[in-house]
């Protein structure tokens, strides 16, 4: 009795409140999205809205059970759980039937279940346990290999299930690792490379005015050159070398413009020459001054250039056709409303037609008439956008932001590494889900089939996020009890 | 904390969250608040606007007899996704099409380049307007052909087989019309000739719309908001023509087998009582699917049955024009009632000769009109042109021309029918071009005195001249529509046009036309003793072909009820055909019968076929399918 009173007192009220709000608003949207014209019974379990009610009820039961278990079990069982999930993932590859091209669902009669959902939780717990070992440090090579191994093993297994979307979620753990000491520069470099990739791909075929080169390459190389200059200035805290670079750049482009009158000059090649010359100069500086920083900047420039140019190759030869088309659509390379872009196009129409206040509950024509595919699962945010407008959509986004901030607050309020790593893992995973899911619906990110936490229809996703959240709450309560 | 520096990274991660929310909020703003096109796209997706077609207004004659009404026609529709186990051979035989046509049509329907709104879930037009027989046969077996349905639409039908040109027809709207008027959509029917065209906006009504919900596969999911936003169609307004359909029937009967035209006007109102253009065709045949084929056939017919000669025919007015010149010559003070001119079989100046027929000589004005003396009008016309009143011939000619235009010649009168011709009155430029500047004299243009030469008029314009004389001083723009349901006719059909001719000059012309019927060239036009008829014959020369027979007249002499003009192409003297036909028309209009004494004349006229191998219009049959 005492224990229960303590528990309800110590539970984080904010997280519970936001969780309830999301579950309730989420259910109304699932109801709105699956609502048909001949449907009269609000609660009938034949419909998805009715089924979702069962999943929600189950989620509460699961949440309650988790809160009643002692927090220390999660830490103790983390590795066993992780190993069990890995085995399950491996079995799934063999056993699972082919559902829409992926082998990720285990089917038990009427119930089907996706082990990949559990893998996120298991990996988060395993990482938390490993990182919370005394003496762990990301500067130790061995520790780094172990951490990468814990992340990449389930990643590979899920990729083998042909469920690339869910596998990509594991990239989110790098955000948690950043908090735990992964050099920020790695995060930055990865971001820059992704941006370069995104610029070069759609624009590489776009000619500059008068067809004097490829716009995509020119922009990408210019960015690389400017980053080089920025890095040199930041390192030397002086504009001397940078001035040479700038002068050289102006000189080269001036000559290019002059030659343009009588020869066909490709400006993206001038930019390439510029980047190569400046990198060679930096290598010369490294040999001359023996300062390592120069060689790093030069290597970055060369690496980035290679990535830019290999983007095309990678895109054409490494990616599979459906991945290519998805990326092409997001980058605006193919405008094909009836083809691959159909989903995104219809979801943009649904959201765009919602206006500021939305069309009102059950008034969305796009969702009601099934124009948006997967509208109650991956594209549930469409219903929010159409029926509740800008106000509702922004409200949902802010709700997520609030939840994540609150979780960060909880993570930082205890001195427990296990709790912190676990919480940041959950934060990273949720952020990744929201980023990709909402971005896809808004036509900003590629179409990757991952659900919107607490909103999308389906038991697996709802339960897995509920379990993640309630374990976190339980750990929080345990910490609070310990220091009472 | 082990490493406080790392703790600050929570701000970076927090900032990342804020950044994501911020970027997505901007994206949401731009999609939802600053772009309005998505709303339109969503509505286009969801709302299927089913057009509800109004029934077209009916057309009545001046006595309230129904002329044009609507009858149902049936389109065969096909819904591709619902077709199953189709016995193509049986279907083709039932509908009366070939298998090749069936295959071709199905491919056309599925081709989104041809059929832009194609959806396999909604009915598409397979054949338009099947014949009643085919429809009846199909209805019996329709249940054998799942996927095929029948849609009713309404087409025009005609109570009488007359007035095809005036009534006009409806047909599928053209691409240019759609581009100019957003009201029309492909497949709509629109008036394309006659009253159907000129009163399209009155007759058509307003389309209604039923807003239905359509899902992503094109299936209809019921009406939107219980039909709150639906609009019922507004039925087109009925119109009453000034046409007397029985008079029209008589006119077309008399004109059968001939080329020419009759225009009868009620002078006091400008309302057209009958308007015949021969050869004609049966308006009932210009309906439905055979329309385009029949249209081709009529369009290539050498006798040009599609040409509405009454408003588009270009003829020299011949001697009927003398009435107009008599008015001007009097007004200009050249000729008086008592001016006498001697005529010895023609008008001779040197080698120049205008022939005249044998009649007493000399004649005064009335006699000259009665006997249609060419010499008289040539002499007096030249007297005017060469008059000392004017500085030169250009000035005198322009004075004459100005007056003649006020009678309605040389310009479109403005009848409420499409494609009216303006005729032609020459200008000084015409003669300068022909003879050289100022190198022409009154003798060069003396033909204008007798309505020959360069002068061209439509039958409508000549009938209008007749109405002007009958009214003794004014004319009202001839028009065909007498009244519109819940509306007024165009106010310009109420305006009296008054030429600058003094009223008493008309009496002399009227008297001359009366004398013409009593003892002159128009004697055959006389009927009964109770009704006083006035008339003027004309023989319009049309070298190298035979002359046109022309007559214009009105009756009764005082308070005229009908002014009529008749022309029979290439048939000789005015008195031969035009005068008898016109007089029979006047007789029928005024007495509602043809007196027994003149029924022989009626039969003769009816059975005279001047066009070889060309029977009555009813001989044109619908082309075989």
How many domains, in total, are found in chain A?
A: 3
Q: Which pLDDT does position B567 carry in this prediction?
A: 95
* Cα–Cα distance for residue pair B292/B298, rounded to 1 Å: 10
Domain identity same for B401 and B502: no
Domain identity same for B575 and B495: yes
Domain identity same for A310 and A411: no
CB contact under 8 A, A431 and B24: no
- In chain A, which residues have their Cβ closer than 8 Å to the Cβ of B33? 355-356, 390
> How many CB atoms lie under 10 A from the CB of residue A225?
23
Q: Is residue A303 a part of any domain in this protein?
A: yes
Q: Is residue B277 a part of any domain in this protein?
A: yes
- Contact B598/B584 with Cβ under 8 angstroms? yes
Collect all residues with Cβ–Cβ distance below 8 Å to B593 and sequence separation of at least 6.
B587
Domain identity same for A31 and A121: no
Domain identity same for B480 and B614: yes
Q: Is residue A120 a part of any domain in this protein?
A: yes
- In chain B, which residues have their Cβ closer than 8 Å to the Cβ of A355? 32-33, 39
Domain identity same for B288 and B342: no
CB contact under 8 A, A184 and B14: no
Is residue B477 left, alpha or beta, with left meaning phi > 0 and alpha meaning psi from -120 to 50? beta
- Contact B292/B159 with Cβ under 8 angstroms? no
* Domain C-terminal end among A269, A290, A318: A318
Domain identity same for A263 and A357: no
How many domains, in total, are found in chain B?
A: 3
| β partners of residue B125 | B77
> What's the domain range around A116?
74-182
CB contact under 8 A, B10 and A438: no
* Cα–Cα distance for residue pair A420/A176, rounded to 1 Å: 9
Domain identity same for B259 and B348: no
Domain identity same for A248 and A136: no
- In chain A, which residues have their Cβ closer than 8 Å to the Cβ of B217? 370
List, for chain B, all residue ranges whose pLDDT scores fall below the cut of 70.
Answer: 1-4, 116-117, 218, 288-290, 613-625
Domain identity same for A423 and A391: yes
At A270, give phi and psi (nearest 5°): -60, -45
Tell me whether the omega of the peptide bond preceding residue B556 falls within 30 degrees of 0, making it cis. Answer: yes
Q: Which pLDDT does position A300 carry in this prediction?
A: 83
Q: Considering Cα of A394, then A396, then A399, then A403, what sign does the dihedral take?
A: negative
Comparing A264-278, A337-351, A435-449, B158-172, which segment has the lowest mean pLDDT?
A: A337-351
Tell me whether residue A19 is exposed, middle or buried, using C-beta atoms within 10 angstroms of its C-beta: 0 to 12, 13 to 18, 19 or more: buried
> What's the domain range around B468?
243-303+464-619
DSSP code at position A260:
T
The whole-number average pLDDT for the span A418-422 is 94
At A418, give phi and psi (nearest 5°): -55, -50
- In chain B, which residues have their Cβ closer than 8 Å to the Cβ of A366? 42, 45-46
* Cα–Cα distance for residue pair B7/A180, rounded to 1 Å: 9
Q: Is residue A148 a part of any domain in this protein?
A: yes
* Domain C-terminal end among B109, B137, B154: B154
Binding-site residues on chain B for chain A (CB distance < 8 A): 1, 3, 6-7, 9-10, 12-14, 16-18, 20-21, 23-25, 27-29, 31-33, 35, 37-39, 41-43, 45-47, 213-217, 221-222
Domain identity same for A462 and A357: yes
Residue of B nearest to A172 (CA): B13
Domain identity same for B452 and B587: no
Q: Is residue A330 a part of any domain in this protein?
A: no
* Cα–Cα distance for residue pair A41/A35, rounded to 1 Å: 10
Max mean pLDDT among A341-345, A421-425, B357-361 falls in: A421-425
The closest of A470, A450, A458 to A27, measured between CA atoms, is A458
CB contact under 8 A, A434 and B45: no
CB contact under 8 A, B28 and A393: yes
* Domain C-terminal end among A318, A346, A361: A318
* Cα–Cα distance for residue pair B261/B275, rounded to 1 Å: 7
Q: Is residue B31 a part of any domain in this protein?
A: no
Domain identity same for B451 and B512: no
How distant is the alpha carbon of residue A136 from its chain centre? 26
CB contact under 8 A, A348 and B31: yes
At B543, give phi and psi (nearest 5°): -60, 145
Residue A201 pLDDT level (bands cut at 50, 70, 90): low
Domain identity same for A175 and A82: yes
Q: Is residue A328 a part of any domain in this protein?
A: no
Residue with the bigger pLDDT between A296 and B579: it is B579
- In chain B, which residues have their Cβ closer than 8 Å to the Cβ of A348? 31, 38
Domain identity same for B472 and B437: no
The whole-number average pLDDT for the span A440-469 is 87
Residue A329 pLDDT level (bands cut at 50, 70, 90): low
Q: Which pLDDT does position B51 carry in this prediction?
A: 78
Q: Is residue A42 a part of any domain in this protein?
A: yes
Domain identity same for A219 and A289: yes
Tell me whether the omega of the peptide bond preceding residue B345 falls within 30 degrees of 0, making it cis. Answer: no
Q: Which pLDDT does position A22 carry in this prediction?
A: 95
CATH at residue B529: 3.40.710.10
Residue of A nearest to B28 (CA): A390
Q: Three-state DSSP class for B551?
A: strand
Question: Which residue among B13, B32, B217 sits closest to A385, beta carbon to beta carbon?
Answer: B32
Is residue A107 left, alpha or beta, with left meaning phi > 0 and alpha meaning psi from -120 to 50? beta
Question: Which residue among A352, A424, A435 sits closest to B31, beta carbon to beta carbon?
Answer: A352
Chain A nearest CA to B46, separation (Å):
6
Chain B nearest CA to A312, separation (Å):
27
Probe site for chain B from A138, A369, A399 (most B CB atoms < 10 A): A369
Strand pairing report for A106-108 and B170-172: unpaired
The closest of A271, A270, A278, A269 to A242, measured between CA atoms, is A278
Q: Which pLDDT does position A112 carry in this prediction?
A: 78
| β partners of residue B475 | B497
The whole-number average pLDDT for the span A399-407 is 96
What would you report as the CA-atom Rg of chain B, rounded to the nearest whole angstrom? 34
What percent of chain A has a predicted confidence (pLDDT) above 70? 83
Q: Is residue B486 a part of any domain in this protein?
A: yes
Is residue A68 left, alpha or beta, with left meaning phi > 0 and alpha meaning psi from -120 to 50? alpha
Reported as a single tens digit per residue, the pLDDT across B518-530 is: 998 888 888 877 8
| β partners of residue B563 | B265, B554
Alpha-carbon separation of residue A444 from A326, A341, A345, A385, B474 (angstroms) = 11, 12, 11, 15, 78
Domain identity same for A247 and A275: yes
Strand pairing report for B47-52 and B208-214: antiparallel
Q: Is residue A413 a part of any domain in this protein?
A: yes
Domain identity same for A379 and A407: yes
CA dihedral B413, B417, B419, B424 (to 10 degrees): -20
Domain identity same for B599 and B497: yes
CB contact under 8 A, A442 and B29: no
Q: Is residue B489 a part of any domain in this protein?
A: yes
Helix axes A72-95, A115-131, angle to 10 degrees: 140
Question: Tokens 């196009």 belong to which residue?
Answer: A345
DSSP code at position B2:
-
Collect all residues with Cβ–Cβ distance below 8 Å to B275 and sequence separation of at least 6.
B163, B165, B166, B243, B248, B261, B262, B263, B264, B310, B311, B480
Is residue A167 left, alpha or beta, with left meaning phi > 0 and alpha meaning psi from -120 to 50? alpha
- In chain A, which residues have their Cβ closer than 8 Å to the Cβ of B221? 37, 369
* Cα–Cα distance for residue pair B117/B126, rounded to 1 Å: 14
The whole-number average pLDDT for the span A82-105 is 85
Domain identity same for A299 and A359: no
Strand pairing report for A111-113 and B66-78: unpaired
Chain B nearest CA to A150, separation (Å):
22
* Domain C-terminal end among B130, B154, B178: B154
Long-range contacts, stretch A102-109, CB < 8 angstroms, 24+ apart: A102/A161, A102/A162, A102/A163, A103/A161, A103/A162, A103/A163, A104/A158, A104/A161, A104/A162, A104/A163, A104/A166
Domain identity same for A379 and A479: yes
The closest of B521, B605, B535, B532 to B564, measured between CA atoms, is B535
Reported as a single tens digit per residue, the pLDDT across B104-151 is: 888 888 887 777 667 777 778 888 777 777 788 888 888 888 888 887
Q: Which pLDDT does position B237 carry in this prediction?
A: 93
Residue of A nearest to B222 (CA): A37
Angle at B532 between CA B528 and CA B534, to 5 degrees: 115
Chain B nearest CA to A398, separation (Å):
7
* Domain C-terminal end among A182, A213, A230: A182
Q: Is residue A452 a part of any domain in this protein?
A: yes
CATH at residue B101: 3.30.1390.30
Predicted-assembly ipTM surpassing the 0.95 threshold = no
The whole-number average pLDDT for the span A112-134 is 91
Chain B nearest CA to A361, separation (Å):
14
Question: Which residue among B18, B29, B47 sits closest to A390, beta carbon to beta carbon?
Answer: B29
Reported as a single tens digit per residue, the pLDDT across A2-41 is: 556 677 788 899 999 999 999 999 999 988 887 765 555 5
**Looking at the predicted structure, is the pLDDT value of residue A333 above 60?**
no
Alpha-carbon separation of residue A199 from A186, A310, B4, B341 (angstroms) = 20, 13, 37, 101
The closest of A301, A201, A285, A305 to A238, measured between CA atoms, is A285
């Amino acid at each position: 009795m005492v224990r229960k009173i303590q528990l309800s007192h110590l539970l984080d009220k904010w997280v519970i409140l936001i969780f309830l709000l999301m579950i309730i608003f989420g259910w109304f949207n699932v109801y709105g999205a699956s609502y048909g014209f001949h449907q009269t019974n609000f609660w009938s379990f034949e419909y998805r809205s009715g089924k979702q009610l069962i999943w929600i009820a189950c989620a509460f039961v699961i949440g309650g059970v988790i809160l009643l278990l002692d927090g220390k079990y999660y830490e103790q069982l983390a590795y066993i759980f992780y190993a069990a999930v890995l085995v399950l993932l491996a079995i799934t590859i063999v056993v699972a039937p082919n559902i829409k091209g992926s082998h990720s669902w285990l089917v038990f009669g009427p119930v089907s279940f996706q082990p990949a959902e559990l893998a996120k939780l298991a990996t988060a717990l395993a990482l938390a346990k490993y990182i919370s070992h005394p003496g762990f440090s990301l500067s130790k090579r061995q520790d780094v290999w172990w951490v990468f191994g814990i992340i990449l093993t389930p990643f590979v297994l899920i990729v083998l299930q042909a469920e690339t979307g869910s596998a990509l979620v594991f990239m989110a753990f790098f955000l948690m690792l950043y908090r735990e000491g992964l050099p920020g520069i790695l995060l930055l470099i990865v971001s820059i490379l992704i941006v370069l990739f995104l610029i070069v791909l759609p624009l590489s075929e776009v000619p500059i005015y008068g067809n004097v080169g490829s716009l995509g390459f020119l922009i990408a190389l210019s960015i690389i050159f400017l980053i080089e200059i920025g890095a040199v200035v930041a390192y030397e805290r002086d504009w001397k070398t940078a001035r040479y670079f700038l002068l050289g750049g102006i000189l080269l482009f001036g000559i290019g413009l002059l030659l343009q009158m009588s020869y066909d000059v490709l400006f993206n090649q001038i930019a390439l020459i510029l980047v190569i010359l400046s990198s060679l100069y930096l290598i010369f500086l490294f040999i001359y001054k023996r300062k390592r920083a120069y060689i790093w900047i030069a290597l970055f420039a060369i690496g980035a250039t290679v990535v830019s140019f290999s983007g095309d190759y990678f895109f054409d030869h490494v990616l599979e056709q459906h991945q290519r088309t998805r990326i092409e659509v997001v980058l605006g390379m193919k405008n094909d409303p009836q083809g691959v872009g159909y989903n995104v196009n219809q979801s943009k129409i649904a959201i765009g037609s919602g206006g500021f206040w939305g069309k009102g509950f059950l008034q969305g024509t796009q969702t009601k008439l099934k124009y948006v595919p997967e509208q109650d699962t991956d594209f549930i945010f469409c219903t929010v956008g159409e029926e509740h407008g800008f106000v509702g959509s922004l409200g949902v986004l802010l709700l997520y932001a609030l939840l994540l901030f609150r979780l960060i607050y909880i993570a930082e309020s205890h001195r427990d590494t296990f709790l912190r790593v676990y919480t940041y893992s959950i934060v990273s995973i949720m952020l990744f889900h929201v980023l990709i899911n909402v971005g896809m619906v808004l036509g900003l990110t590629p179409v990757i089939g991952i659900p919107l936490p607490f909103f999308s229809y389906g038991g697996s996703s709802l339960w897995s996020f509920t379990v993640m959240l309630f374990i976190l709450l339980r750990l929080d309560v345990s910490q609070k009890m310990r220091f009472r | 904390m082990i490493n406080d520096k790392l703790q600050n990274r929570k701000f970076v991660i927090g900032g990342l969250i804020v950044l994501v929310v911020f970027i997505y909020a901007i994206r949401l703003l731009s999609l939802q608040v600053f772009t309005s096109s998505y709303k339109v796209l969503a509505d286009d997706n969801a709302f299927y606007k089913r057009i509800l077609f109004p029934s077209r207004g009916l057309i009545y004659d001046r006595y309230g007899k129904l002329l044009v009404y609507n009858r149902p026609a049936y389109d065969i529709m096909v819904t591709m996704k619902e077709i199953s186990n189709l016995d193509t051979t049986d279907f083709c035989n039932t509908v009366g099409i070939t298998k090749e046509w069936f295959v071709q049509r199905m491919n056309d329907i599925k081709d989104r380049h041809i059929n832009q709104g194609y959806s396999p879930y909604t009915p598409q037009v397979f054949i338009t307007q099947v014949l009643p027989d085919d429809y009846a046969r199909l209805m019996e077996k329709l249940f054998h052909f799942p996927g095929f349905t029948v849609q009713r639409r309404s087409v025009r039908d005609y109570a009488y087989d007359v007035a095809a040109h005036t009534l006009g027809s409806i047909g599928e709207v053209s691409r240019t019309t759609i581009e100019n008027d957003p009201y029309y959509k492909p497949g709509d029917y629109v008036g394309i000739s006659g009253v159907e065209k000129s009163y399209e906006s009155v007759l058509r009504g307003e389309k209604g719309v039923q807003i239905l919900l359509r899902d992503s596969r094109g299936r209809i999911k019921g009406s939107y908001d219980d039909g709150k936003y639906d609009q019922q169609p507004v039925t087109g307004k009925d119109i009453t023509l000034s046409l007397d359909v029985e008079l029209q029937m008589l006119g077309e009967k008399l004109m059968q087998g001939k080329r020419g035209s009759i225009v009868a006007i009620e002078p006091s109102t400008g309302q057209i009582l009958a308007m015949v253009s021969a050869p004609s065709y049966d308006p009932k045949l210009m309906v439905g699917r055979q329309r385009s084929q029949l249209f081709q056939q009529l369009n290539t017919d050498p006798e040009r049955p599609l040409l509405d000669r009454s408003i588009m025919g270009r003829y020299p007015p011949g001697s009927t024009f003398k009435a107009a010149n008599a008015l001007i010559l009097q007004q200009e003070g050249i000729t008086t009632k008592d001016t006498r001119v001697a005529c010895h079989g023609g008008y001779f100046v040197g080698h120049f000769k205008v022939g005249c027929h044998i009649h007493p000589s000399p004649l005064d004005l009335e006699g000259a009109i009665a006997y249609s003396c060419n010499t008289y009008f040539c002499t007096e016309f030249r007297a005017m042109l060469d008059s000392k009143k004017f500085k030169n011939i250009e000035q005198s000619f322009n004075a004459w021309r100005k007056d003649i235009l006020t009678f309605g010649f040389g310009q479109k009168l403005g009848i409420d029918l499409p494609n009216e011709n303006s005729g032609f009155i020459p200008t000084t430029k015409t003669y300068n071009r022909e003879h050289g500047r100022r190198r022409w004299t009154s003798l060069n243009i003396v033909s204008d005195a007798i309505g020959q030469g360069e002068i061209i008029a439509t039958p409508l314009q000549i009938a209008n001249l007749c109405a002007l004389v009958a009214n003794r001083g004014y004319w009202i723009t001839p028009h065909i529509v007498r009244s519109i349901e819940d509306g007024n006719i165009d106010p310009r059909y109420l305006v009296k046009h008054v030429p600058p001719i003094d009223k008493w000059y008309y009496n002399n012309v009227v008297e001359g036309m009366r004398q013409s019927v009593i003892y002159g060239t128009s004697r055959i036009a006389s009927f009964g003793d109770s009704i006083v008829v006035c008339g003027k014959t004309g023989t319009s020369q049309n070298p190298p072909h035979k002359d046109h027979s022309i007559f214009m007249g009105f009756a009764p002499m005082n308070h005229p009820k009908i002014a009529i003009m008749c022309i029979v192409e290439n048939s000789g003297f005015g008195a031969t055909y035009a005068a008898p036909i016109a007089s029979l028309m006047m007789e029928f209009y005024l007495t509602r019968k043809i007196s027994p004494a003149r029924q022989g004349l009626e039969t003769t006229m009816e059975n005279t076929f001047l066009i070889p191998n060309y029977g009555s219009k009813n001989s044109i049959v619908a082309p075989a399918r």
